[in-house]
């Protein structure tokens, strides 16, 4: 391979060269990946068979060739032959070879990754603001509740008629109920105790705690573990609670929808080169819980992790919010994908390179991440 061809294929920008009839003369590796085609299938094919944008888009390609002018489009949405779509910027540049034959250089810069990252950060910022507001409100509610409960107890001790004590008992019971709700909003009331542990032991403990209930409802639990995952720096109690919350949500979704042959699969995998929040990690552990229920209602998808948001009539809407808080303490995130018949919630946690006493992670700087 020549140096020119090697450089051409090493470019992160997708580059295609078209002849005067808009057939593909060559395309680099990045273009093949972006357009989801192989060099063999794309070469000598008409560009309109690889993707289309709108009826007049290929007219612009021809005009650029004929008028010998460049053209740039920002935020273009290309419909690929495979059925996928690609959000990108592209630039058209007319050129010619040493023989004088005209050709068109097409440069494609994908915006899919940056758009996804921006959307995740926006959602995480909204969730953090809402959660912080509700947690602050919960603290303000809890303080007067203690005073109300104490006053009701003092009043009950001074009352002689049993019929009147029924009212003070009602006050005490209701303040206890509100206090419990506030405690759930605030989440686990202790600092994490991080240790190097095997994630599969935690998952097996979680399955054991829910097995009887799952069996009683006819729900089948299957495992799909990656045994090569190293020990993670985690808090056993907190992470188990987060996993249990996701298992409970999956179970309730299956029961409420009366899904036939209800199933839950727990899987683990190693991912590489992932953004968690606004940090980039070279290695990440993904713990996924998938059910074959009806999916998440569209009207709550954007606010799913906010406290008090639930797709169930009887739900408190706190489980996902608490799990998100637990996972964020592990420098991780919770993500989900949902279509009718399959919903997956995934916990993503960075795989640390060092011991808990020397918490050096595989987090990369922006310079290292982008090269």
∠ Cα 126 127 131 (to 5°): 120
- The pLDDT tens digits for 261-278 are 999 999 999 998 787 876
How high is the pLDDT of residue 370? Answer: 38
How high is the pLDDT of residue 261? Answer: 94
CB 117 within 8 A of CB 275: yes
Q: Which is nearest to 319 in space by CA: 255, 258, 253, 256?
A: 253
Q: Is the pLDDT of residue 357 over 50?
A: no
Q: Which is nearest to 111 in space by CA: 89, 143, 131?
A: 89
Provide the total of helices (H) and of strands (E) in the chain, helices listed first.
10, 14
Q: Which residue has the higher pLDDT, 253 or 100?
A: 253
d(CA 326, CA 342) in angstroms, rounded, equals: 24
d(CA 16, CA 36) in angstroms, rounded, equals: 13
Which helix or strand (DSSP H or E) is residue 350 part of?
Answer: strand 342-350
Q: What does the mean pLDDT of the chain come to?
A: 81
- The pLDDT tens digits for 126-176 are 666 666 666 677 777 777 888 888 898 898 888 888 888 888 888 988 888
Q: Which residue has the higher pLDDT, 352 or 13?
A: 13
Q: Is the pLDDT of residue 187 over 70?
A: no
Task: Return the minimum-mean-pLDDT range out of 92-96, 272-276, 327-331.
Answer: 272-276
d(CA 9, CA 329) in angstroms, rounded, equals: 41
Q: 338 in helix, strand or coil?
A: strand
* DSSP letter string, 132-144: HHHHHHHHHHHHH
**Averaged over 303-314, what is the pLDDT?**
55
The model's confidence at residue 369, banded by pLDDT at 50, 70 and 90, is very low
* Residue 200, both tokens: 């599969």
d(CA 148, CA 127) in angstroms, rounded, equals: 31
Query: Would you report the helix, strand and coil content of the chain in percent, each value rounded to 5?
Result: 45, 25, 25
CA distances from 294 to 208, 263, 286 (A): 25, 12, 23
29 C-beta neighbours (distance < 10 Å), count: 15
* DSSP letter string, 295-337: ---GGGGGGTTSTT--SSTT--S-HHHHHHHHHHHTT-EEEEE
- Report the Cα 75 to chain-centroid distance in Å: 23
- The pLDDT tens digits for 47-81 are 999 998 876 678 889 999 989 999 998 888 888 98
- The pLDDT tens digits for 201-219 are 999 999 999 999 999 999 9
Strand partners, 274: 281
How high is the pLDDT of residue 121? Answer: 61
Q: Is the pLDDT of residue 366 over 50?
A: no
């Amino acid at each position: 391979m020549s140096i020119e061809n090697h450089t051409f294929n090493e470019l992160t920008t997708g580059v295609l060269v078209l002849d005067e009839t808009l057939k593909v003369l060559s395309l680099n590796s990045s273009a093949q990946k972006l357009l989801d085609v192989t060099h063999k299938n794309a070469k000598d094919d008409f560009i309109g068979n690889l993707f289309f944008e709108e009826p007049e888009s290929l007219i612009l390609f021809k005009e650029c060739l004929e008028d010998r002018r460049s053209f740039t489009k920002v935020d273009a949405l290309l419909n690929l032959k495979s059925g996928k779509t690609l959000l990108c910027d592209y630039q058209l540049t007319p050129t010619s070879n040493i023989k004088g034959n005209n050709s068109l250089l097409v440069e494609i810069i994908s915006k899919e990754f940056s758009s996804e990252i921006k959307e995740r950060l926006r959602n995480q910022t909204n969730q953090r603001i809402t959660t912080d507001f509700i947690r602050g409100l919960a603290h303000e509610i809890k303080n007067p509740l203690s005073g109300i409960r104490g006053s009701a107890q003092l009043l009950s001790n001074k009352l002689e008629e049993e019929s009147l004590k029924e009212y003070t008992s009602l006050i005490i019971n209701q303040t206890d109920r509100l206090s419990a709700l506030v405690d759930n909003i605030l989440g686990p009331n202790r600092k994490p105790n991080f240790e190097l542990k095997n994630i599969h032991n935690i998952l097996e403990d979680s399955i054991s705690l829910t097995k009887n209930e799952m069996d009683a409802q006819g729900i089948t639990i299957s495992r799909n573990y990656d045994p090569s995952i190293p020990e993670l720096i985690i808090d056993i109690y907190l992470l188990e609670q987060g996993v249990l919350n996701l298992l409970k949500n999956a179970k309730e979704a299956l029961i409420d929808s009366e899904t036939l042959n209800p199933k839950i699969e727990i899987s683990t995998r190693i991912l590489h080169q992932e953004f968690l929040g606004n940090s980039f990690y070279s290695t990440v552990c993904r713990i996924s819980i998938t059910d074959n229920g009806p999916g998440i209602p569209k009207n709550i998808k954007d606010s799913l992790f906010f406290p008090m948001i639930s797709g169930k009539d009887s739900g408190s809407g706190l489980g996902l919010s608490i799990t998100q808080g637990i996972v964020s303490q592990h420098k991780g995130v919770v993500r989900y994908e949902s279509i009718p018949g399959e919903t997956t919630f995934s916990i993503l946690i960075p795989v640390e390179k060092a011991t808990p006493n020397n918490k050096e992670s595989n987090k990369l700087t922006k310079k290292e991440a982008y090269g």
